Amino acid sequence: MIATVIFVLAALAAMDLARGSVRAVKDAQDVTLATWLLQKTIVELETKIETEGIEKACEKKKEGTFPEPYQKFSFVSYCSEIDFKISETVSALMDESAENDDRATRENLTQKYVLNIASDYMSKASRELHVEVTWMQGKTPRTIDVTTHVARYDLPLTVGGVPGTAPSTGTGGTGS
């Protein structure tokens, strides 16, 4: 009788261990699938920006669910402008070191102007992409996310409100 009780307890422990192992495998499969869906979504966003351009393809926020058989997973994506403030940072440094003569003031204004143009161009040419994939794992909500940056340096350069041509230093493209 004691041997039977020990055997039953051992069998119950083994079943519980097996059930936990199956659950861990299922959880790992969900994380792997969510990671694949996350990667697929971010690549689609980068490709859309590359083919259609930043202004046309960059949606501030987009939400949805994935099609069958992945309908238990949902996503939200954000495409945000990156506001570069190079001129403000450098101007503060130059003001500290500049002498109060006319030449230093003119150089400072010229440098501010050039840095403003560079800041504006970089802000227009760059975006931050953020994607989150969410699903329920049992009764627990799970989320994975990724953030990357995209830059298109083939946009026309605007100086003083007058559009120019794309810089000739490269063909542009995306980077992350």
pLDDT of residue 154: 81
pLDDT of residue 43: 94
pLDDT of residue 131: 97
Nearest-angstrom CA–CA distance, 44 and 48: 6
Question: Over the chain (176 residues), what is each successive 10-residue block's mean pLDDT?
Answer: 84 79 84 96 93 89 95 95 75 58 67 81 90 93 94 78 54 44
pLDDT of residue 168: 47
Output phi, psi for 175, to 5 deg: -145, 150
pLDDT of residue 7: 82
Nearest-angstrom CA–CA distance, 1 and 109: 95
Non-local (6+) Cβ contacts of 130 within 8 A are 77, 78, 80, 145, 146, 147
Enumerate the β-bridge partners of residue 147.
Answer: 130
pLDDT of residue 138: 85
